[in-house]
Structure 1
Amino acid sequence: METAKAILETRGLSRSFSGFVAVNDVNFSVRERTIHALIGPNGAGKSTLFNLLTRFLPATAGQIYYDGTDITHASPASLARQGLVRSFQISSVFPHLSVLENVRIALQSRHGETMDFWLSDRRLRKYDEEVMSLLADIGLENYAQRIAIELPYGRKRALELATTLAMNPRVILLDEPMAGMGQEDIQRTSALIQKVAQGRTVLMVEHNLSVVADISDTITVLRRGEIIAEGTYDIVSADPEVRQAYIGGAHD
């Protein structure tokens, strides 16, 4: 079977803060149309690497490539327009707008009408069919008129995923999508991630190793800013260095 091409790559990527090296000479690649998990103990450099990939932090050294193009100095906004879209650890929806309005704003952004809140109802309604289709994909169609702040936590995270999908991404970067969730929401969100990954690429930072084991195609393990292992869950979980650094102490 032909191996999928790399959609996101780093070469010698490093980031230091006042002499402290948070990410050190990282070379890795994310294959197109796969779910790729980034794991490691606290302080391993996962969040820093995520911020480098999405250009919320500049690199000290090295290069980042997206679909073969050097994006090391690109802006986060330009990357989003190119289909590299990030969803944050802390829910970033507009709390006092409805579910429908939140997703509609994301669609407006994609069509260059981000701040046009004064558009007529007729102009805004042109987005509603696509909004409802997205909400149906996420299982939120019955929540369309609910105010976001009133949603249960798991549904609020699903709404965030819907706004991310509204940007029509090729690559979705998820920062701890299961954080703060109960088991029922974790199962629902895992299924959603697998569903939205069909035809897309997902890179996620995640601490829940059961989720990582169930849905990831590839796992990269970081420790002290360096990659110590990569492969399927069976491969990385059997690695003695990984078990010592992370898995052995947290997930026997």
Structure 2
Amino acid sequence: MSTSSCILEARGLRKSFGGFVAVSGVDLDVETGNIHALIGPNGAGKSTLFNLLTKFIQPTAGDIRFKGKDITHAPPAAIARLGMVRSFQISSVFLHLTVYENIRVALQAHGRDTWRFWRSERGLHRFDDQVHELVCQVGLEPLIYTRAADLPYGRKRALELATTLALDPELILLDEPMAGMGQEDIERTSALIRSLGGKHTVLMVEHNLKVVADISDRITVLRRGEKIAEGSYDEVAANEEVRSAYMGGAHG
């Protein structure tokens, strides 16, 4: 793949913890505008690789480039400012605030307006159009004035994505976005993530292989810290190493 078309590139990524190698020599190319899934059985190294890419941990070896810039040793806050934002690893919403207020806070943060929290409510109405646009994008219009604490689980995750989108990221990293959801919320969230393709690039770790098949442009498969396959869903599903890795139905 031409590196000019890739927003995120990793070469030779390795992470060892003492004598245990969690990620071993992984190369990764995430193409701009794609929805790229990272999958593998339990213990494959997916979470460690995700933490390396988002700079929550430092690699033992290898390098990472975002939009052509070396971010191997950059802190998470710095890469967020560059346009790479991670969501869904923990709840990122204020439970006592409404949907509307949560999204407005995120817009204020993106606009470097955090020092204006003391200003009157009237002065914050300039965010209203953007808030309503994001609320509509994630399907939360009927719940716009509902406190986050009172939202059903799946709708709370939709709010988390709305607050992420408020930061206007170029690359969104989703850590198991379907975890804990019922089928209705899975279908709704899948459609939402699919709608992000093109304008945003998405890299996600996901256990639900049906979701991966339905919405991913490209898939990378890990096993025991190594990349064993990459390509479309049909290509990786036909790979004998992938079939062997998933033997017994372990989808973690």
Task: Settle same-fold status: TM greater than 0.5.
Answer: yes
What's the counterpart of residue 203 of structure 2?
203
Alignment of 1:222-233 (within 5 A): 222-233=222-233
Q: Report the 3-state secondary structure (helix = DSSP H, G, I; strand = E; otherwise coil) of the residue aligned with 1:101.
A: helix
The alpha-carbon deviation at position 43 of structure 1 amounts to: 1.1
What's the counterpart of residue 30 of structure 2?
30
Q: Distance in 2 between matches of 1:15 and 1:119?
A: 47
Q: Is the 8 A contact 1:92 1:160 kept in 2?
A: yes
What's the counterpart of residue 66 of structure 1?
66
Q: Which amino acid aligns with 1:38?
A: L
Q: Report the 3-state secondary structure (helix = DSSP H, G, I; strand = E; otherwise coil) of the residue aligned with 1:199.
A: coil
Q: Percent identity?
A: 65
What's the counterpart of residue 221 of structure 2?
221
Q: Which amino acid aligns with 1:113?
A: D
User: Quick check: 32-41 or 135-144, which moved more?
Assistant: 135-144
CA 1:247 to 1:181, structure 2 compared with 1: closer, same or farther past 3 Å? farther
The alpha-carbon deviation at position 182 of structure 1 amounts to: 0.7
Q: Would you say 1:174 and 2:185 are equivalent positions?
A: no
CA 1:81 to 1:152, structure 2 compared with 1: closer, same or farther past 3 Å? same
Q: Distance in 1 between matches of 2:153 and 2:218?
A: 28
The alpha-carbon deviation at position 248 of structure 1 amounts to: 6.0
The alpha-carbon deviation at position 122 of structure 1 amounts to: 2.3
Q: Distance in 2 between matches of 1:90 and 1:179?
A: 12
Q: Is the 8 A contact 2:38 2:204 kept in 1?
A: yes
Q: Is the 8 A contact 1:237 1:247 kept in 2?
A: no
User: Quick check: 155-164 or 112-121, which moved more?
Assistant: 112-121
CA 1:138 to 1:99, structure 2 compared with 1: closer, same or farther past 3 Å? same
What's the counterpart of residue 189 of structure 1?
189
Q: Distance in 2 between matches of 1:94 and 1:31?
A: 33
Q: Is the 8 A contact 2:55 2:76 kept in 1?
A: yes
The alpha-carbon deviation at position 118 of structure 1 amounts to: 2.2
Residues 81-138 of structure 1: per-residue CA shift (max 9 Å, x gap) = 1110110233321111111111111111111133643232122222122111111111
Q: Is the 8 A contact 2:42 2:250 kept in 1?
A: no
How well do the aligned residues superpose, as a CA RMSD in angstroms?
1.7
CA 1:137 to 1:68, structure 2 compared with 1: closer, same or farther past 3 Å? same
Q: Is the 8 A contact 1:7 1:30 kept in 2?
A: yes
Q: Would you say 1:10 and 2:10 are equivalent positions?
A: yes
Q: Is the 8 A contact 2:91 2:160 kept in 1?
A: yes
Q: Which runs of 5+ in 1 are unaligned?
A: none
Q: Distance in 2 between matches of 1:198 and 1:130?
A: 20
Q: Which runs of 5+ in 2 are unaligned?
A: none
Alignment of 1:1-252 (within 5 A): 5-114=5-114, 116-246=116-246, 249-250=249-250
Q: Distance in 2 between matches of 1:143 and 1:78?
A: 33
The alpha-carbon deviation at position 17 of structure 1 amounts to: 1.2
Residues 162-210 of structure 1: per-residue CA shift (max 9 Å, x gap) = 0010000111100000000111110000000011223111000000000
The alpha-carbon deviation at position 211 of structure 1 amounts to: 0.3
Residues 48-94 of structure 1: per-residue CA shift (max 9 Å, x gap) = 11111111111111100001110111121121111101102333211
